[in-house]
Chains A and B, each alone.
Chain A
Amino acid sequence: MNEHIKKATRHTNQNEGLIFEKSSPGKRAFDLPPLDVPSTDPEKSLGTHHRREGVEGFPEVSEIEVLRHFTRLSTWNFAIDLGMYPLGSCTMKYNPRVNEYVARLAGIATEHPLQPQELSQGCLKIMRLLEKCILEITGMDVVTLQPAAGAQGELTGLLLIRAHHEKHGNPRKKVLIPDSAHGTNPATAVIAGYDVENIKSNAEGQVDLAKLREQVTEDVAALMLTNPSTLGIFEQQIPEIAEILHAKGALLYMDGANMNALTGITRPGDLGVDVMHLNLHKTFSTPHGGGGPGAGPVAMKKILEPYLPTPVLVEREGGRLALDFQRKESIGRVKAFSGNFGVLVRALAYILAYGPGVRQATEDAVLNANYIRKNLEGVYDLPYTRPSMHEVVFSDAAQKRHGVSTMDIAKRLIDYGFHPYTTAFPLIVPGALMIEPTESESKEECDLFIDAMKSIAREAQTTPDVVKTAPHTTRVRRLDEVGAARKPILRWKPAKRSEAAD
């Protein structure tokens, strides 16, 4: 009898199948207005060869089924709107809803990127004001808003550096990247045509200046530095690092992924950084949306301006804004049209809401991270003890003795109502627990998180199996990732009825 009961009692356990499994011929969820011109015969206009009868296997469902399907799926996600999301280096802060509202306004969402510029002055003004704000925040001279995400910002930055060196006779061969860097840095350097040379952090998690002096030669195009580093530590010697590079004609690239620790406190442009990107979906609160979209503006010093990607936003006489496509030394385009404009709108709305008060957000983010650090020090191992900025990195060294890993602790956090922190990154900390609370968490939420972490540390000693088999409260248990990769099933296919039942 039980096998016929398809509906479970708790909504998060509802047996929501794939939309394709709900399909039944003849159902529909959308009607078009009647066609008001003569219908063109596809057979005649396209020819038999090009004509398609319809998409095989496409779902046929009603509107209520669509809404329920996706609403039910949504309940299987954790989200910032549900609670603390302490993913290190991801800056999962509150995504203000007014930003969503303004991005959808008629006259904003409706605009075509190729429409005449005299009909686009509103869009161009938004971009101009965001540019000015970014320059003020970073202390740079020029910015491009075109890159679609952080990784594309990195590529744009390296292409600018390459163009600069080429102009001076030699593109150079290598890009230096610290061992604590995010994986996009080395992957990007390769696309820009550079060899990657790793530089080791010293025992304090800082760049080893003596070693750096040896490594920086005339072959080095740039150093890509994340500051604060992925250990959440501010690189104090950044002006000296810039000097070492500049002495050999190399440039300093800063990965601005962690700008949430610096906004309103200090400016990379004042520290000797030549070019950097920002992740608007981190520091500037645009929603991560389950993996994107983002935007990765690149801010730079004047020396790199000639190489900006096209088009470049310029001011003409009378304050009229225009897009300049005629730039002889440009690195070219990195993306079609004008960047992820809708994301730019949201970022500007965020900045306008704070104004100069954005410094308070930075202070609260750093306060939260240090509060959590203070309360968990001694409970979890702290491999690097220099002051923390916006995030703190512990290791699972103490829990490992009981066979409990950072991943187990992370999964157990889910049962306590939190999203896991970042696990196993940065690579220089074996078994890392990388915690970034952001400014969006109240003292109460931080206290709950601390309690949960302490409780899990106790469990690791007394009942390690509970931790190792977590989570226990989710719709699905730990998933077989090895099996998924060994025999990849990457799409739904019609199956026999008996196989389709889950």
Chain B
Amino acid sequence: MRYLPKSPAEREEMIAAIGAKSIDDLFSSIPETYRLKKPLNLPGPLSETEVIQYFQERAAENSTGYTSFLGAGVYNHLRSVVTDVVLQRGEFLTSYTPYQAEISQGTLQAIFEFQTLMCQLTGQEVANASMWDGSTATTEAVLMAERLTGKGRVLVARSVHPEYREVLRTYAKNSGLHIEEIGFTPDGTLDTRALQNALKQDVCAVVVQSPNFFGAIETLAPLADAAHASGALLVVAITEAVSLGVVSPPVEADIVAMEAQSFGLAPSYGGPYAGVIASREKFVRQMPGRLTGQTTDSAGHRGFVLTLATREQHIRREKATSNICTNQALCALAATVHLTLLGKEGLREMAQHNLSKAHYTLAELEKIPGVKRTFKAPFFNEFTVEFPRSVKIVNAYLLKEKFVGPFVLGSAYPDLTKHALVCVTETTSRAEIDRFVAAVKRALEQPL
């Protein structure tokens, strides 16, 4: 087998050196009755060429050739080839968690740069070395708020990503958290009156997303004031991180939970991505996950180490701030390289392109009779429109014209079945947008 570096003679030599008769002797501690008598029934072995062929065949059964207007928490953005060149360097790809700092300075410094970039983006003081994704980061942010406040009620905006709310509910079930949802106003943002009514002294966190699941940008200052007035913390989730290139950062938040997929990570059918938790310095000892800190070596040179590990499971065991161990380090590295390539100007421009393309698309869609913008709140690259017929029917038609249609809001919000969440990024050309709008028009003109 090509991955195994031993010849049959070397194996025999090693078995003899151990003093065993055969390789089976080394498995003598497994009772005979429990040892497999026949080979595993697995496909293969495949040569490299055959492995590639298998996956190419599967790839051909997917969506190649379709133009997508789907976002809803996963975004298609431009990625430089340089990012992948760095990522595929074996020194990054095939290294372990940087516990041995002297021979892990590359990973450690890159994480330190990642933490810095995340702070700069979110306007927060500290950021960790990554969480599994945006959904688990949001959940961990709520658990962190619970530890910080000692309270158990959580008020979550219904306009937070539906799958994020599902994950939060799964974790909350057994940790004494009580979750209530707060609705939205006709402009698509959080219903502040409903929030005020629900806020009592027993609330640990108010959780909103901005831009929210409908694409609407929330005004955070009054939400933070309301939360703080009753001793709760404001948790802000961000699913579309490119928005931070043109939208003001959530400085009012106490904890930011972000999905960094938009920064150089392929959609890859759901992962791996990179979650981020950023917060205030005074809360750092209740943060989950790994943190890299700057220090000096015995010769006085600057260096980096994993730090504040007494929060973590390998030291604190059942008293740890979280059970997370393996995180998404390589994905965080991808985001670091990607953002370094974009730089200050590139990120601003990318954000500006998204803003412009989405606003152009909305304006074109609104020219179709019966198509209306659902919510009036400002938006970035996603917006909600109402069609005069069910979005499922429209999407079924769009599929025939080689478009992956917008997200069907009715699947998560039964009150919004005729509403579609449209996403347009810098990757979609004007020609594609125009073809899409024409196709939507035809879809709505089809006889029922």
- If A71-B86, A183-B314, A364-B6 are given as contacts, then 6 extra A-B residue pairs at C-beta distance below 8 Å, sorted by A number, are A58-B339, A116-B399, A133-B42, A335-B136, A359-B40, A485-B310
Nearest Cβ on chain B to A415's Cβ, whole angstroms? 10
Q: How far is the CA of A331 from the CA of B100 in the complex (A)?
A: 38
Q: How far is the CA of A111 from the CA of B70 in the complex (A)?
A: 11
Contacts of B103 in A (CB 8 A): 76-78, 414, 419, 471, 474
- Out of B29, B176, B291, B340, name the residue touching A233 (CB < 8 Å): B29
User: Given known contacts A73-B110, A159-B170, is B93 in contact with A183 (CB within 8 Å)?
Assistant: no
B197 within 8 A of A: no
Q: Is the pair A73, B378 in contact by a Cβ cutoff of 8 Å?
A: no
Q: How far is the CA of A27 from the CA of B84 in the complex (A)?
A: 21
Q: Is the pair B290, A291 in contact by a Cβ cutoff of 8 Å?
A: yes
Main secondary structure of the interface of A (DSSP, over half): loop
Q: Is the pair B307, A270 in contact by a Cβ cutoff of 8 Å?
A: no
Contacts of B82 in A (CB 8 A): 29, 63, 66-67
Q: Is the pair A389, B163 in contact by a Cβ cutoff of 8 Å?
A: no
A322 within 8 A of B: no
Q: Is the pair B29, A111 in contact by a Cβ cutoff of 8 Å?
A: no
User: Given known contacts A42-B246, A61-B343, A489-B294, is B323 in contact with A332 (CB within 8 Å)?
Assistant: no
B173 within 8 A of A: yes
Instruction: Give the interface size bracket for A toward B.
Output: 35 or more
- Out of A32, A387, A484, name the residue touching B305 (CB < 8 Å): A484
B266 within 8 A of A: yes
A210 within 8 A of B: no
A164 within 8 A of B: no
Could you write out 21 A-B pairs with CB less than 8 Å apart?
A30-B342, A57-B120, A59-B344, A63-B82, A73-B107, A77-B103, A108-B58, A115-B404, A119-B404, A265-B27, A270-B34, A290-B333, A291-B330, A335-B136, A353-B3, A354-B44, A356-B45, A364-B11, A471-B102, A476-B297, A479-B305
Q: How far is the CA of A103 from the CA of B163 in the complex (A)?
A: 24
Interface residues of B in 117-136 (CB under 8 A from A): 117, 119-121, 125-127, 129-130, 132-136
User: Given known contacts A92-B96, A95-B94, A478-B297, is B247 in contact with A414 (CB within 8 Å)?
Assistant: no
B446 within 8 A of A: no
Nearest Cβ on chain B to A485's Cβ, whole angstroms? 5
- Out of A54, A70, A343, name the residue touching B337 (CB < 8 Å): A70
Q: Is the pair B357, A386 in contact by a Cβ cutoff of 8 Å?
A: no
Contacts of A113 in B (CB 8 A): 74, 267, 269-271
Contacts of A191 in B (CB 8 A): 171, 174-175, 322-323
Q: How far is the CA of A234 from the CA of B19 in the complex (A)?
A: 20
Binds B, one of A82-90, A212-220, A396-404, A452-460: A82-90
Nearest Cβ on chain B to A411's Cβ, whole angstroms? 7
Nearest Cβ on chain B to A11's Cβ, whole angstroms? 12
Q: Is the pair B269, A123 in contact by a Cβ cutoff of 8 Å?
A: yes
Q: Is the pair B317, A183 in contact by a Cβ cutoff of 8 Å?
A: yes
Q: How far is the CA of A23 from the CA of B113 in the complex (A)?
A: 13
Q: Is the pair B320, A187 in contact by a Cβ cutoff of 8 Å?
A: yes
Q: Is the pair B318, A186 in contact by a Cβ cutoff of 8 Å?
A: yes
From B109, B284, B329, residue with most partner A Cβ within 10 Å: B109
From A30, A182, A187, A290, residue with most partner B Cβ within 10 Å: A290
Q: Is the pair B43, A288 in contact by a Cβ cutoff of 8 Å?
A: no
B106 within 8 A of A: yes
Q: Mark A288-319, 1 if CB is under 8 A from B, else 0.
A: 11111111000000000000011000000000
Chain A to chain B: the 8 pairs with minimum beta-carbon distance, closest first:
A355-B44, A107-B59, A289-B330, A193-B174, A337-B270, A81-B90, A291-B329, A293-B272
B370 within 8 A of A: no
Nearest Cβ on chain B to A498's Cβ, whole angstroms? 14
Contacts of A92 in B (CB 8 A): 94, 96
Q: Is the pair B35, A119 in contact by a Cβ cutoff of 8 Å?
A: no
User: Given known contacts A55-B121, A75-B106, A291-B129, is B166 in contact with A354 (CB within 8 Å)?
Assistant: no
From A37, A236, A340, residue with most partner B Cβ within 10 Å: A37
B228 within 8 A of A: no
Nearest Cβ on chain B to A22's Cβ, whole angstroms? 10
Q: Is the pair A20, B344 in contact by a Cβ cutoff of 8 Å?
A: no
Q: Is the pair B62, A478 in contact by a Cβ cutoff of 8 Å?
A: no
Q: Is the pair B1, A110 in contact by a Cβ cutoff of 8 Å?
A: no
